[in-house]
Amino acid sequence: MAVVVVYESMYGNTHQIARAIGRGLTEAHIPAEVFSVDAARDREIRSGDVLVVGAPTHVHGLSRDSTRKAAAKEAQKNELEMDPAAQGPAVRDWLASLGKITGRAAAFDTRIKAPALFTGRASHTIARALRRHGFELLAEPESFLVTSTNQLMPEEEARARQWGADLAAKILPIQP
């Protein structure tokens, strides 16, 4: 069994959250590998693996080619730095490429700090896709919040680390 954290990131926030989740898992004695979607394409996912998958919320859900292009234009206009992973494929495409796999999983997203009714949550779409592929969810989908200027809220990295530790506690009791 491997624990693999896979993320899509535009401005680096989802990348930071993925690393924090990986640290939380590892500190709780569950070694985790953290990959961008691009790097995860070369990583074989096997039955029994645990996937933790995250992406930024774009227009109420997972990014599309058009929303990724709009995010790049927004970054240029507002002098925001794009994450190196932003050039790679999207979580939506990577999830579509997975076959039927038996394993456990969790989903997360980053989104603007506002009611989910207004922002949407990419994590719900990720969770549905993971279930369709045969994964059992370890936790409810989780959102980590960013400001309107695309910065992580101050407490979110620590909260992500704790969420990773909480996931580890759910993995440990049923390890073979």
Instruction: Give CA–CA dist 43/170, Å, rounded.
Output: 24
pTM score:
0.93
Query: Please, what is the average pLDDT of the chain?
Result: 92
How large is the average pLDDT for residues 124-153? Answer: 96
What pLDDT does 173 receive? 65
Please give the residue that has the higher pLDDT: either 43 or 34: 34
Task: Give 83-126 pLDDT, tens digit per residue.
Answer: 888 888 899 999 999 989 999 999 999 999 999 999 999 999 99
Residue 79 pLDDT level (bands cut at 50, 70, 90): confident
Which of 15-24, 58-67, 71-80 reaches the highest mean pLDDT? 15-24
Tokens standing for 147? 């400001």
How large is the average pLDDT for residues 155-174? Answer: 92
Instruction: Give CA–CA dist 57/73, Å, rounded.
Output: 17
How large is the average pLDDT for residues 162-169? Answer: 97
Count Cα neighbours of 120 within 13 Å in the Cβ-side half-sphere: 12
Beta-bridge partner residues of 52: 5, 106
What pLDDT does 175 receive? 46
CB of 151 closer than 8 Å to CB of 8:
no
Whether the pLDDT of residue 174 is over 70: the answer is no
What pLDDT does 76 receive? 84
- HEC secondary structure over the chain: CCEEEEECCCCCHHHHHHHHHHHHHHHCCCCEEEEEHHHHCCCCCCCCCEEEEEEECECEECCCHHHHHHHHHHHHHCCCCCCHHHHCCCHHHHHHHCCCCCEEEEEEEEEECCCHHHHECHHHHHHHHHHHCCEEECCCCEEEEECCCCCECCCHHHHHHHHHHHHHHHHHHHCC
Instruction: Give CA–CA dist 106/124, Å, rounded.
Output: 10
